Amino acid sequence: MVSAMDGQERRVALVIGNGNYQQPDLPKLPNPPNDAEDIAKALRGFGFEVIERKNQSLEAMNQAIAEFGSKIGGSTAALFYYAGHGIQVKNQNYLIPVNARLESEASVPYQSVNLNQVLDEMDNGKSGANIVMLDACRNNPISGKFRSGQTRGLASPGSAPKGTVIIYATDPGNVAADGKGRNGLFTAGLLSAFKGKDLSLDGVLTAASAEVEQASGQTQTPYVNGPKTLQKSFHFRVTFDPGQAEIEKTFWNSIERSTNAADFAAYLQKYPQGSYAPLAENRLKALQGSTLALASPATATTAFDGRWAVTLVCDDLQYKEKLVKGYTYNFFIDVKAGQLQGQHKQVDTPASLTMIGTIQTDGTVDIHANGITGNQDYSVGRVQPGKPYSYRMLGSLTPTSGKATRIELRPCEATFFKN
């Protein structure tokens, strides 16, 4: 796996998308909830712990910001993203909740969230890097009712906590397009940039700005305020730590077209209440009654039955100029009627590993390994302990010994000896 986590690095994000506005003078915005959903998904892929909120009332926004503040203490990065209506009053920027009733300029501070509230939480949290992204400069017809001077778009940022980069969807005093597709122009640019090669904050913002300028016909240019050194040093590092649901999906995809009943039995053993359990049960029943069921109970081999000692060795790996240490696990597997199962350490604890597999009559072995990361020094990308992962191994057995090799990401070999 590759992770955004280096050492004890911890990244936290609050993502809010408001679109279902209730006041007639505030137009509903179709894209911000989509923007929040898509940005949250991308940030999780970069190793962030994400607080995701959509269509928030004033009370709910305040609660989310307080939760964000409680989590960012001592973090290496704190990121706040907001999409929705935003307004400036007397050079202060306000983010508008969906239940706001802005009858006058004086009502704005009481009906909206001052951006400084978020910045204060970041300042108190002392995070190593603070990033604020606002796709909140949409044209606001209410601003025309107010007496103060410039109310178009957002105001230039004032003082911000040290180590803070603030990004607007467009220049201060201008407005940004909500976009005709699923996302606002700025958010669409960010999502595209997140797929690029340069994942430094500077690289992402440069690519996103180019996307926005092209899509808007040069009428909208994102605005960036903050230390250039931070923009160049902060990276959105990719992680393939997908979580349990995605691991289950990967397992299912690997066996979906299988003609081996034992594969579906292994899935049901691992995920008895899984998303694909009904399909797996149907496939298992069909294959068990078919001549295609090479490892069904009627035809399964017993030549390999018994307890086997397993030595799993994963070699050192040089990954992105960093050494990933190798490791060795010793444990046992039990084989019966062409199916194997083994466990290293207690299930779902750090450095644990579960092996579930099938053995054909010719000794061909197909293993699905599911584990939980332990010490970061031994994990590709230095993933934090306690994260799930999975991979597949292929090999062969004789009645007394055998080997299987991991087929992805890093070199690992399992050696089997029958007791």
- pLDDT tens profile 51-64: 999 999 999 999 99
Q: Which of 233, 252, 274 corresponds to the end of one domain? A: 233
**Of the ranges 152-161, 197-206, 385-394, which one carries the lowest mean pLDDT score?**
152-161
Residue 8: the pLDDT is 47
Residue 1 lies in a domain: no
Residue 175: the pLDDT is 59
Residue 226 lies in a domain: yes
The verdict on 100 and 203 lying in the same domain is yes
Q: Using CB atoms within 10 A of its CB, is residue 97 exposed (0-12), middle (13-18) or buried (19+)?
A: buried
The verdict on 209 and 282 lying in the same domain is no
Residue 264 lies in a domain: yes
Q: Which of 190, 207, 233 corresponds to the end of one domain? A: 233
Residue 3 lies in a domain: no
The verdict on 198 and 325 lying in the same domain is no
Whole-Å CA distances, 206 to 193, 201, 251, 304: 8, 8, 38, 59
Q: How many domains does the chain contain in total? A: 2
Residue 404: the pLDDT is 92
Six-digit token string for 346: 């207690």
Residue 140: the pLDDT is 54
Residue 174: the pLDDT is 59
Residue 55 lies in a domain: yes
The verdict on 174 and 102 lying in the same domain is yes
The verdict on 220 and 260 lying in the same domain is no
Six-digit token string for 153: 């778009």
The verdict on 163 and 291 lying in the same domain is no
Q: Are 176 and 135 in contact (CB under 8 A)?
A: yes
Residue 205 lies in a domain: yes
The verdict on 181 and 77 lying in the same domain is yes
% pLDDT > 90, the chain: 37
Residue 142: the pLDDT is 59
Q: Specify the CATH number for the domain of residue 112.
A: 3.40.50.1460
Distance CA 116, CA 414 (A): 56
Express each pLDDT in 98-155 by its tens digit: 999 887 788 889 999 999 999 999 999 888 899 999 988 655 555 554 433 345 557 6
Residue 238: the pLDDT is 67
Residue 366 lies in a domain: yes
Res. 304: pLDDT tops 90: yes
Helix 185-193 vs helix 201-215: angle between axes, to the nearest 10 degrees?
Answer: 140
The single-letter code of the amino acid at 25 is D
Express each pLDDT in 310-363 by its tens digit: 999 998 888 777 888 899 999 999 999 889 999 998 877 888 999 998 899 889
Q: Which of 192, 208, 233 corresponds to the end of one domain? A: 233
Global pTM? 0.56
Strands (E), 250-320: 306-314, 317-319
Q: What is the dihedral of CA 164, 169, 170, 171, to 10 degrees?
A: -20
The verdict on 63 and 109 lying in the same domain is yes
What is the pLDDT of the chain when averaged over all its residues? 82
Q: Using CB atoms within 10 A of its CB, is residue 151 exposed (0-12), middle (13-18) or buried (19+)?
A: buried
Mean pLDDT of 157-181: 70
Widest CA span of the chain, in angstroms?
87
Q: Give me the domain span that covers residue 111.
A: 11-233
The verdict on 200 and 306 lying in the same domain is no
Residue 310: the pLDDT is 94
The verdict on 182 and 115 lying in the same domain is yes
The verdict on 49 and 155 lying in the same domain is yes
Looking at per-residue confidence, does 90 or 82 come out higher? 82
Residue 238 lies in a domain: no
DSSP, collapsed to helix, strand or coil, labels residue 249 as helix
The verdict on 154 and 287 lying in the same domain is no
